Structure 1
Amino acid sequence: MLTTDATGAGASTGREIDLFSQEFAADPFPVYSRLRSSAPVHYDPATRLWLVSRDEDIRKVLLDSATYRNDNALRPVLPLRLPALRIMERVGFNIPPALFNNSGDSHAGLRGIVLRMFSAQRVREALPMIERVTAEELDLLEAALEVEGRCDVASTAARTIPIRVMLEMLGIAGLSEVDTATVAEWTDAFITLFWGRTDKDEQRLLAGRASDFYAWLCDLAELREVPDGSLLAALAAHRMPDGSPMTRDEIVAICSNLLVAGHVTTSQMISTALCRALESPDEWQALQAGGPERAEAFVEETLRREPSLTAWRRITSRETTLNGVELPADAELLLLLTSAGTDPEAFEDPEGICPFRDSGRQHLGFGLGRHRCPGAELARAEGRVFLDMAARRFPNLRAADADGPPFLELVSFRAPSRLLVAQTDGK
């Protein structure tokens, strides 16, 4: 049971919260419920983060960017060990504030570039490309099912579609000989290194991959001939608030932010949505009959109930009070977005998946305020296209893991780490 101590900080009189455990990753909802009712602003000594669990409080934080800054958003949740740091130092690993960890004067201009890259019009224009990429990946899924009898969607189609789409949207597909599987491996390594609990040997491996990712981005940032309309062209033409051009590392920071977020969160959203849809044969049939509208509504419910970005960080710029709890300056907060989406004070039947619910998009799956996810419409489009096409193409698809899928054990990211599927005999 969670209680509140005399200072207002959440304290536990029962089991401690382990944000990295498989038990929590597989089913965090009971913990969120206890936090909301007993300690909505709770200090977690293991991570030194203040866990904020109620929808109302999280909205307050996200809308007050002066008091709650995002400067800590991309710091490792747990300190990196010296061997990993040395590996990264060899390539000069340096990702300065760009989008997700930038509360400075440069943020507005950089965000404007990204918003134009992912505008509603550009997403509409990209739909044929998204459908083509999805169809090609579903061809590979079908072939794997025919040969092997089952396939892990989380490591194949759900993983590959978003990185291919993102490289196309940014105009950097084909600018290097690195394949999409390698880029996906790099971005997966990046989030595991910065948001996971890893031992020394695993950190060395992940640091090596993150360093390769950084070196590749540096090569892209130094290209002089880039396609018109590409992200690299827009960044080369951009001027910072003092009138100076962007540095190589600033360009690298923007590209890494977008590739990690655009690949990882969308890939995980697709895996989670498919996982939940296959849990109910009636829902899978409804997706086949309901077309894009049903797929879009189901994706929206997935984003509310189980967003890929389960939690995000803020840091206080001054002493403040949140829900009666006194927070010092430089207090690091973890905003539990999944908890907000299942808060009964904000949503009716919060843990049920109810496509077409009245609240629609009024959730925090993409954040809120000046740092709201700029790629929200692209992610929605990818999820809708995938679910719609997969349901119609594989009407007899079913989950093939008898014990249910394992989940990623990361702070801030949650999705099946494996999603085995097969087809019934009536395919």
Structure 2
Amino acid sequence: MTTDTSAAAPAAAPGAPAVDLFSQEFAADPFPVHDRLRRSAPVHHDPVTRLWLVSRDEDIRQVLREPSTYRNDNALGSVLPLRLPALRILDRAGFKTLPPALFNNSGDTHPVLRGPVLKLFGAQRVRAALPMIERVTHEELDLMAAGLDATGRHDFARGPARTIPVRVMLEMLGVPEAARADIATIADWTDAFITLFWGRTDKDEQRRLAQLVGEFYIWLCDLAARPDAPDDSLLGALARVRMPDGSPVPPEVAVAVCSNLMVAGHVTTSQMISTAAYRALEHTGRWRALGREPGLAEAWTEETLRREPSLTAWRRVTSRPVTLGGVDLPEGAELLLLFTAAGTDPEAFEEPERICPMREGGRAHLGFGLGRHRCPGAELARAEGRVVLAAASERFPDLRLATEERPPFLELVSFRAPTRLEVEHAPRPAEPRRSPPQ
């Protein structure tokens, strides 16, 4: 899976900032670079990835509203070419490329496949799933409490923020108990998937990641081949779908749909929860308020999605010559839509750098995309965010960051969140000593 483009590499715009999309410096604090891009080169060619970086909210919305001009066929290809050893490992697992399904499909099969997914993650299904989400959350918070009691510290990003979305997604997809892999293993698989295809890794690391991705693909193939898929599960729904030519959904397409949803349902939700928790924990009062003030956890989740979405950027490719942001692009130009830059665009949001949970029009951001390819699991992610943040704050009101050092962030092109979030109980103030009775 490699990225190719027919557009010739142009010279950098005068005054355009140098951008290293894979650096820790950029991952930890992308906002200054985004600001410079919006002001000096809102449609900027990156020579490393050969992608056109689109940073203004207005331009990104234009792209998302015109899916026939800006297609998503390139969305799931590897950002940088994979080396031969990794490709061989993937080939042995039977994984060559994902066919068009949800996130890389601009053809006539897209609405056919998207239909059952929208029903699966519709508002009514999400409301019905709330008791399950709450149960899973409290079970994982019990494990966190045990960890805090045993060692005094706990990694929130590797703990509840990571495991809850996996468990919820397995329930929502209707995966039979007998077919479920270990939760930590599934999380490792999906993390490996995004790192292999959206990261900058050396040959040895690519081999390790490819092995995990191959295991993930084999598990998905076995899952799709099971004859006992419940009627109300995703695979049960896909079995009833007919493609535009009247044929059933091919097995490899069903696998691709499941892959899209497992990766997105775990990775982006986990990262959203980790980032939201981190920003709240930076100030003790903020964290404590999430469990006490009705509606605040929901509003805090929404602001996180605007200012620091876990899906930081997504790709498109032009189907014809077009002008975007004053820049002429040829057919086949590959774009990277910088959603984080759009969410902090001062032309779109007042005081965009400020976290303002009660912001007017708080949902008018691009954290879930826009238009035909808007994230079908948006309401489920929102529900998980508000349930987990409120429950964790209520259960651990005196939680604090265990270190003043900034946590490490993912160094991937399209995903961003703290990879570790060490927390501990804040020491309670000593009670004043009482004078003995006279």
In which range does the TM-score fall when normalised by the shorter chain? over 0.9
Alpha-carbon shift at residue 14 of structure 1 (Å): 7.7
Query: What does residue 235 of structure 1 align with?
Result: 238
Please give the alpha-carbon distance, in whole angstroms, between the structure 2 residues aligned to 1:53 and 1:426: 45
User: Of 298, 307, 310, which aligns to 1:308?
Assistant: 310
Please give the alpha-carbon distance, in whole angstroms, between the structure 2 residues aligned to 1:237 and 1:248: 13
What letter corresponds to residue 123 of structure 1 in structure 2? V
Alpha-carbon shift at residue 400 of structure 1 (Å): 1.0
User: Of 27, 30, 35, which aligns to 1:28?
Assistant: 30
Alpha-carbon shift at residue 173 of structure 1 (Å): 4.3
Matches within 5 A, 1:324-343: 324-343=326-345
Is 1:190 aligned to residue 190 of structure 2?
Answer: no
User: Of 28, 49, 52, which aligns to 1:50?
Assistant: 52
Q: Bigger radius of gyration, 1 or 2? A: 2
Superimposed CA distance per residue, residues 331-381 of structure 1 (whole angstroms, 9 cap, x where no aligned partner): 000000000000000000101100111021000000000000000000000
Please give the alpha-carbon distance, in whole angstroms, between the structure 1 residues aligned to 2:345 and 2:159: 33
Q: 1:91 to 1:356 in 2, by over 3 A?
A: same
What letter corresponds to residue 384 of structure 1 in structure 2? R
Aligned CA-pair RMSD: 1.3
Query: What does residue 274 of structure 2 align with?
Result: 271
Please give the alpha-carbon distance, in whole angstroms, between the structure 2 residues aligned to 1:14 and 1:226: 53
Query: What does residue 155 of structure 1 align with?
Result: 158
Indicate the SS of the match to 1:290: coil
Query: What does residue 398 of structure 1 align with?
Result: 400
Indicate the SS of the match to 2:292: helix
Q: 1:14 to 1:48 in 2, by over 3 A?
A: closer
Contact 2:243 2:249 in 1 (8 A): yes
User: Of 375, 381, 385, which aligns to 1:379?
Assistant: 381
What letter corresponds to residue 204 of structure 1 in structure 2? R
Please give the alpha-carbon distance, in whole angstroms, between the structure 2 residues aligned to 1:177 and 1:153: 24
Query: What does residue 179 of structure 1 align with?
Result: 182
Contact 1:401 1:419 in 2 (8 A): no
Matches within 5 A, 1:243-258: 243-258=246-261
What letter corresponds to residue 275 of structure 1 in structure 2? Y
Is 1:344 aligned to residue 324 of structure 2?
Answer: no
Q: 1:12 to 1:222 in 2, by over 3 A?
A: farther
Superimposed CA distance per residue, residues 25-51 of structure 1 (whole angstroms, 9 cap, x where no aligned partner): 000000000000000000000110000
Indicate the SS of the match to 1:391: helix
Please give the alpha-carbon distance, in whole angstroms, between the structure 2 residues aligned to 1:194 and 1:113: 27
Please give the alpha-carbon distance, in whole angstroms, between the structure 2 residues aligned to 1:325 and 1:15: 17
Contact 1:239 1:245 in 2 (8 A): yes
Matches within 5 A, 1:208-223: 208-223=211-226
Query: What does residue 90 of structure 1 align with?
Result: 92
Query: What does residue 40 of structure 1 align with?
Result: 42
Matches within 5 A, 1:29-178: 29-93=31-95, 94-178=97-181
Please give the alpha-carbon distance, in whole angstroms, between the structure 2 residues aligned to 1:313 and 1:278: 32
Runs of 4+ residues deviating >4 angstroms:
7-10, 12-15
Alpha-carbon shift at residue 281 of structure 1 (Å): 1.7
Alpha-carbon shift at residue 426 of structure 1 (Å): 2.3
Please give the alpha-carbon distance, in whole angstroms, between the structure 1 residues aligned to 2:232 and 2:159: 29
Runs of 5+ consecutive residues of structure 1 not aligned to the other structure: 1-6
Indicate the SS of the match to 1:335: strand
Query: What does residue 224 of structure 1 align with?
Result: 227
Q: 1:173 to 1:131 in 2, by over 3 A?
A: farther
Contact 1:9 1:39 in 2 (8 A): no
Please give the alpha-carbon distance, in whole angstroms, between the structure 2 residues aligned to 1:42 and 1:214: 35
Contact 2:312 2:340 in 1 (8 A): yes
Query: What does residue 18 of structure 1 align with?
Result: 20
Contact 1:190 1:210 in 2 (8 A): yes
Contact 2:99 2:252 in 1 (8 A): yes
Contact 2:16 2:44 in 1 (8 A): no
Contact 2:16 2:40 in 1 (8 A): no
Q: 1:392 to 1:177 in 2, by over 3 A?
A: closer
Alpha-carbon shift at residue 285 of structure 1 (Å): 2.8
Percent identity between matched residues is: 69
TM value normalised by structure 2: 0.94
Query: What does residue 287 of structure 1 align with?
Result: 290
Query: What does residue 4 of structure 1 align with?
Result: none
What letter corresponds to residue 43 of structure 1 in structure 2? H
Please give the alpha-carbon distance, in whole angstroms, between the structure 2 residues aligned to 1:155 and 1:361: 28
Contact 2:288 2:394 in 1 (8 A): no
Alpha-carbon shift at residue 221 of structure 1 (Å): 0.9
Query: What does residue 3 of structure 1 align with?
Result: none
Please give the alpha-carbon distance, in whole angstroms, between the structure 2 residues aligned to 1:112 and 1:190: 25
Contact 1:10 1:40 in 2 (8 A): no
Query: What does residue 201 of structure 1 align with?
Result: 204
Please give the alpha-carbon distance, in whole angstroms, between the structure 1 residues aligned to 2:52 and 2:328: 11
Aligned length, in residue pairs = 420
Alpha-carbon shift at residue 11 of structure 1 (Å): 3.2
Alpha-carbon shift at residue 288 of structure 1 (Å): 2.8
Please give the alpha-carbon distance, in whole angstroms, between the structure 1 residues aligned to 2:211 and 2:217: 10
What letter corresponds to residue 155 of structure 1 in structure 2? R
Query: What does residue 436 of structure 2 align with?
Result: none
Please give the alpha-carbon distance, in whole angstroms, between the structure 2 residues aligned to 1:39 and 1:203: 33
Runs of 5+ consecutive residues of structure 2 not aligned to the other structure: 1-8, 430-438
Contact 2:302 2:363 in 1 (8 A): yes
Matches within 5 A, 1:406-417: 406-417=408-419
Indicate the SS of the match to 1:365: coil
Contact 2:144 2:154 in 1 (8 A): yes
Superimposed CA distance per residue, residues 297-340 of structure 1 (whole angstroms, 9 cap, x where no aligned partner): 00000000000000000000011000110001100000000000
Alpha-carbon shift at residue 10 of structure 1 (Å): 4.3
